[in-house]
Amino acid sequence: MKTSWKIIAGMALLLGTTVMAHAEDMGSLSGRITFAGTAPVPKRIEATKDVEVCGKHPIFDESLVVGPDKGVKNVVVIVDGAKGGKFFSQKAVLDQKGCIYSPHVVVVPTTGELDILNSDGVLHNIHSYSTLNPPFNVAQPKFKKVVTEKFTKAEIIKATCDAHNWMQGWIVATDHPFVATTDEVGRFTIKDIPPGHYKVEIWHETLGKQVKDVSIRAKEDTKLNLELAKK
């Protein structure tokens, strides 16, 4: 007797395991992360160095960005334990432009590499604070347009610029592609997840970490909406 894929996937969900699935049988996870309480007013940062470049445009603290509808930007959502999948690209880019890191949170495959750009034409110095990967502290003068780094272990890594003390960003090194960061309205989508039962880690630099249980079903989109409060 031929066993249907739905029966196999259902058994996997009951057992808390995952099974290999065809591409057309994958599920997805999507949702929205919002802020509990009154949205904070964006804090403007004064550029105190290289003002002719860094002071051209307003700089705001990005450690907690909340939209008018309370959506939280730059929340990292990780489906823990999901196997397989393909990265869209093995190359990630982090730009130093306007004396901020763009994007504020960048996702990098552990099988790929990160190109760190200097679009400002002034001296930057990128300093990583990793523990599982070797930390680095690299000067990037204006003539050195690209510095390339690799990360072989999954880890969320803080990065700063020693030349401009207000510059801060995050590098999310991941060994699987089931990772997303929320957009300006707090939304995220992670596609092509094998059916199964997973722990989902929700991390934000200011609002902390939460872990939620989710069940991914074949050909279905599972919703995860969450409200985060400032501690």
pLDDT in tens, 157-194: 999 999 999 999 999 999 999 999 999 999 999 999 99
Q: What is the mean pLDDT of residues 130-142?
A: 97
Domain count, the chain: 2
Closest CA to 179 of 164, 169, 192, 197: 192
List Cα–Cα distances, 8 to 13, 45, 154, 193, 197, in angstroms.
9, 54, 30, 15, 13
Are 145 and 195 found together in one domain? no
- What CATH number has the domain bearing residue 78? 2.60.40.1120
Are 138 and 96 found together in one domain? yes
Are 75 and 107 found together in one domain? no
pTM of the model: 0.88
- What CATH number has the domain bearing residue 126? 2.60.40.420
Are 14 and 72 found together in one domain? yes
Q: Is residue 53 part of a domain?
A: no
Q: Residue 210 pairs with which residues in a beta bridge?
A: 202
Name the domain boundary from 175, 195, 219.
Answer: 175
8: confidence class by pLDDT, cuts 50, 70, 90: very low
Are 155 and 211 found together in one domain? no
HSE, CB side, 13 Å, CA atoms: give it for residue 67: 15
Q: Is residue 49 part of a domain?
A: no
Are 148 and 188 found together in one domain? no
Give the whole-number percent of the chain exceeding pLDDT 90.
84
Q: Is residue 48 part of a domain?
A: no
| pLDDT attached to residue 22 | 65
Are 169 and 181 found together in one domain? no
Name the domain boundary from 127, 145, 175.
Answer: 175
23: confidence class by pLDDT, cuts 50, 70, 90: low
Are 139 and 215 found together in one domain? no
Name the domain boundary from 150, 175, 200.
Answer: 175
Are 158 and 184 found together in one domain? no
C-beta atoms surrounding 100 within 10 Å: 23
**Alpha-helical regions (H) of the chain:** 5-15, 51-54
Are 231 and 158 found together in one domain? no
Are 90 and 164 found together in one domain? yes
Q: Is the pLDDT of residue 2 over 60?
A: no
Q: Is the pLDDT of residue 205 over 60?
A: yes
Q: What's the domain range around 24?
A: 1-43+58-85+177-231
Q: Is residue 51 part of a domain?
A: no
Selected residue with higher pLDDT from 71 and 16: 71
Are 138 and 205 found together in one domain? no
List Cα–Cα distances, 1 to 4, 10, 19, 24, 95, in angstroms.
9, 17, 20, 22, 56
